[in-house]
Structure 1
Amino acid sequence: MPLADPRLDELGNHRYQNGIATLQDSDAVTKVERASFGQLLLYPGFVRLWMADGLSNFGTFIFGLSLQLLLIHVLSADQLEIGWVRSAQWLPSLLFGLLAGVVVDRVQRKQLLIATDIASCVLLLAIAGMGLLGMLSPFGVAVLVFLLGTAAVLQGGAHQSFTADLLPPSLLASGNVALTQTYTAAQTLGPLLAGVLAGVVGAPVTMLINAATYAASAVLLAGVPGRQPTERTARSSLGADLREGIAWVYRHPFLAPYALCLHVWFIGNAIAGTVYVFHATRLGLDGGAVGLTLGMAGLAGVIGAGLAERTARLLGTGKAILCCDFLTGLAWLIVAVTPQTGVALYALCAAQFVYGIGLGLRGPLEMSFRNAVTPSRLRGRMNTTIRSINWGLIALAAPLGGWLALQFGDRAALTIAGTIMVGTGTALLLSRFRHAAMPTDAPG
């Protein structure tokens, strides 16, 4: 939700209490949201970042389903092999994530984003080319996605921090809503297109589209006005920088419980993500149908992101974010009990819709909150500290998910995943995070 901005008083008779906007009537909400969106267009650097982000996200969701279909249908991989490939994709976060935060805070973030886009484009071209030549194996795919994951670690921290550099505090939440809605729109269309194309031209050719989106993203980012944060302190040692970033996250009264529960949530999500496509194909869905179910999550995410600010005003920022854990957990529990009958497609679409609502709601709220309470000089380290551990846990949990599915069945693995998420929501509800509110002014 938007941070306090005196200009909004002229539009909607707002009051800000404890950092949360209270509106006098529903018409005021609509007017302010439209005004905030219009103001975003006055920042050309953010607009170019927004477009670049949309393109690369579109390609990413094409790649995600294409990769699993490649492993299942072309390389005949089982659940555990899929888990190891997913582990390789996220292992760089475990190995380099904390260091990446220091790098993001020390270099020009725009140049880093462009470099990682170019590297991702080249690696995707390699996967597509080797796939077309029949030179891929699960191990070869794992090596290439490890390199892709390394680029993504740097890209993720730089992107999250660069967004906050391009917008004033009063528009930061609105900017994150716009980015989240674009992300979820890509989440809707990407899997649909991937499922269709993989069936028509094959998964390797489908990945060429992802490579093209990264190339276009790099071109767009090159035109973003280079604005580095002005808040700088004397250059300290690498170890001191790492310790400062970690301490900020895990000693903060609200970031600490949020981050710890988010780490556990990612374990559950990694288990479910490893098993889901394989399980859906066992229920009788082809690539296009699987893409349709994943597309429902993207469609719901757009709706959820659009409701994020209003939900935060109604429940409070902390409660709005933690409710999303319950929604995503419920979604995977629905998947776990879906029967292998003619209703499977509808049940999975419904489950993914619930899942997408949860992700869409939490995305802009949590990104706005954690960036708003963190000074600019620490945002890179804060974001990559949280993100690197999240992604690093995927590297550990993805093979675990594959093993659980092989030992106890897909349904048991999905049930465990959903239960973990319900558990993190409960933990946050019992912690001080339920009282978390957006500050009226961002620090630094």
Structure 2
Amino acid sequence: MSKTSRLGLLGDRDFGRLFAATALGQLGDRIIFLALPLVAVVALNADEFQVGLLAAMTTAGSLLVGLPAGAWVDRMRKRSVMISTDLVRALVLMTIPVAWWAGFLTVWWLCTVALVHGVLTVFFDVAYVSYLPHLVGRDNLMEGNSKLSTVRSVTSISGPTVAGPLVGLIGAPATLLVSSAGMAVSGLLAFTIRRHEPKPEPSEHPQLAREIKEGFTFVVKNPILRAIMLGDAIFNLFLVMYQTMLLIFLERQIGLQPFGIGLILSGMGCGALLGALMATTVSKWIGQGTVIWLAALVTCPLTALMPLARPGWSVYAAAIGLAALSLGGVIRVVAQSGFQQEMTPDRLLGRMSATTRFVSWGGIPVGGLLGGVSGSAFGATTTLWIGAAGMTLSVLPNLLSPLRTMHRLPTEKAPGFAGRDFMDG
């Protein structure tokens, strides 16, 4: 058996570089996930509403540029978008420790950086999802998505594990330098990928509104894509409500230090890693359509264990529920990503990704604000209960769609596919 056969896609140099770039970029992202709110909570003594506002600003880019981003990215080479957004995000993050050392860092500065970083992340993510079919070929999408989910899961473990001690050692603001470095190296690695996708054919009369409408209509009229999008929207809104108060609950009510919080989040990463390793096998065993709704139905209710926790062993028992949530979430995402990419023609990949992201992620800043308002009004514990209930209800759109009885991925190719098999040449 050849080395390429044993390693699969990892035996290809260009995919290996994308894999490495993903690892470093995601490591930076996971450190941000812990360090940025801790800058607000610990370094700036932010209150519940300010923490919720920061969470909202982090993802507000999906509402601001979510739909036009897809049309713009479909006009450009995706690899170039990924490189430029990685490098600019690295520079933006670097301003936080600089402002801290200069003595003028505020919550509003954090919110501004979070907003700019979030807008850039929209463009990166749309390009990233659209680039994979060009790089690996549609026949290899399940393997490609699974391997990239694996590396994201590994960084979900290592990110908080690295960030917790770093925050304790050098402080949350300085820890963001590590995130900045990860983003920068990720962009440089993407620059070394030699296989470029064809330059998109320019439209004779480009009209942004018409292009946006075409992508939006394509997704909304497809019952499978529509159900996946709506299920994700409900899940993400309540997940962010939950996550917004989770750090406050762990730090102020359970009394955990940054290292302990990082350990809890690393447990979630362990669940995500296990999910990535199991995703292909579970999808083949249960069926790709079935696993999309079943994974959420089984794992989301377990998040109710956390608001039941008290200082001591019970909080780590509750962390098992969070790990299960991550496990089910990754299995679901790998399966549904294959549906979304396979059913979308090449020329609409960017707009499909942007439309689903706009709707699915559009509720995230709303969830951050609602989490902050709910935390201020009812407390962190009650907000965790609300989040757990909402995440469980997110399974309904998929249960009420053809996915409920669809065992396998549709076999027909998406129209307009002009790619080649990944291993050819």
1:25-424 aligned within 5 A: 38-229=7-198, 232=201, 234-235=203-204, 236-281=206-251, 282-338=253-309, 340-424=310-394
Q: TM-score, normalised by structure 2?
A: 0.92
C-alpha displacement of 1:345: 3.5
State the alpha-carbon separation in 1 of the partners of residues 6 and 216 from structure 2: 34
Contact 2:231 2:396 in 1 (8 A): no
Opposite residue 300 of structure 1, the aligned amino acid is G
Whole-angstrom distance in 1 between the partners of 2:199 and 2:117: 31
1:336 match: secondary structure: coil
CA distance in 2: counterparts of 1:210 and 1:341, whole angstroms: 31
Aligned residues: 411
1:126 CA displacement? 0.5
- Equivalents in 2 of 1:144, 1:37: separation in Å? 43
Q: Measure the CA separation in 1 of the matches of 2:329 and 2:230.
A: 18
Runs of 4+ in 1 over 6 A off after TM superposition: 34-37
1:365 Cα offset (Å): 1.3
Conserved? CA contact 2:75–2:202, under 8 Å:
no
- The answer as to whether partners of 2:228 and 2:336 remain within 8 angstroms in 1 is no
Do the aligned partners of residues 36 and 293 (structure 1) sit closer, same or farther apart at CA in structure 2, a change above 3 Å counting?
Answer: farther
Partner letter of residue 223 of structure 2?
A: P
> 1:139 deviation in Å?
0.9
- The alpha carbon displacement at 1:91 in A equals 1.1
Stretch of structure 1 that moved more, 227-236 or 178-187: 227-236
Distance 1:172 1:277 in 2: 35
The residue type paired with residue 40 of structure 2 is L
Inter-partner Cα distance in structure 2 for 1:244 and 1:45: 32
SS in 1 for 2:256: coil
**What is the percentage of aligned positions where both structures have the same residue?**
27
8 Å CA contact retained: 2:224, 2:403: yes
Query: For 1:300-333, what per-residue CA distance to the aligned partner results, in whole angstroms no more than 9, with x for missing partners?
Result: 1111111111221222212201123224522321
8 A contact 1:316–1:435 mirrored in 2: no
How far off is 1:398 after superposition? 0.5
Matched, 1:438 2:409: yes
1:109-168 deviation per Cα after TM superposition (whole angstroms, max 9, x unaligned): 111111101110101111121122221111111011111011101001000111111012
> 2:218 & 2:297 partners in 1: Cα distance?
27
> Letter of the aligned partner of 2:349 in structure 1?
R
Per mean C-alpha deviation after superposition, the further-off stretch among 293-302 and 422-431 is: 422-431
Quick one: structure 1 residues 440 and 36, their matched pair in 2 at CA, closer, same or farther if it must change by over 3 Å? farther
The gaps in structure 2 that reach 5 residues or longer are 418-425
Would you say the 8 A contact 1:231–1:376 is kept in 2? no
Taking the aligned partners of 1:42 and 1:286, their CA distance within structure 2 comes to 42
Taking a change above 3 Å as real, the CA distance of residues 133 and 284 of structure 1, as seen in their structure-2 partners, is same
**Structure 2: distance between partners of 1:384 and 1:100:** 6
One-letter code aligned to 1:68: P
1:284 Cα deviation from its structure 2 partner: 1.4
Q: Which amino acid aligns with 1:268?
A: F
Label 1:427 to 1:256 Cα distance change in 2 as closer, same or farther (>3 A): closer
What's the TM-score, normalizing by structure 1? 0.89
Counterpart position of 2:420: none
SS in 2 for 1:337: coil
- Decide whether the 8 Å contact of 1:336 with 1:415 is kept in 2: yes
Amino acid at match of 2:35: S
1-structure distance, mates of 2:346, 2:199 = 9
After superposition, the Cα gap between the structure-2 partners of 1:211 and 1:37, relative to the gap in structure 1 and judged at 3 Å, is: farther
Q: Residues 329 and 420 of structure 1 are in contact (CA less than 8 Å); yes or no, is this contact kept in structure 2?
A: no
- Distance in 1, matches of 2:199 and 2:12, equals 18
Amino acid at match of 1:266: N
SS in 2 for 1:210: helix
Partner SS, residue 41 of structure 1 = helix
| Aligned 8 A contact 2:68 2:212 in 1 | yes
CA shift at 1:384, angstroms?
Answer: 1.1
Post-superposition offset of 1:390:
2.5
Asked whether the equivalents of residues 277 and 290 of structure 1 are also in contact (C-alpha less than 8 Å), the reply is yes
Which is worse superposed, 323-332 or 307-316?
A: 323-332
> Which amino acid in 2 is paired with 1:117?
D
Q: CA deviation at 1:36?
A: 7.0
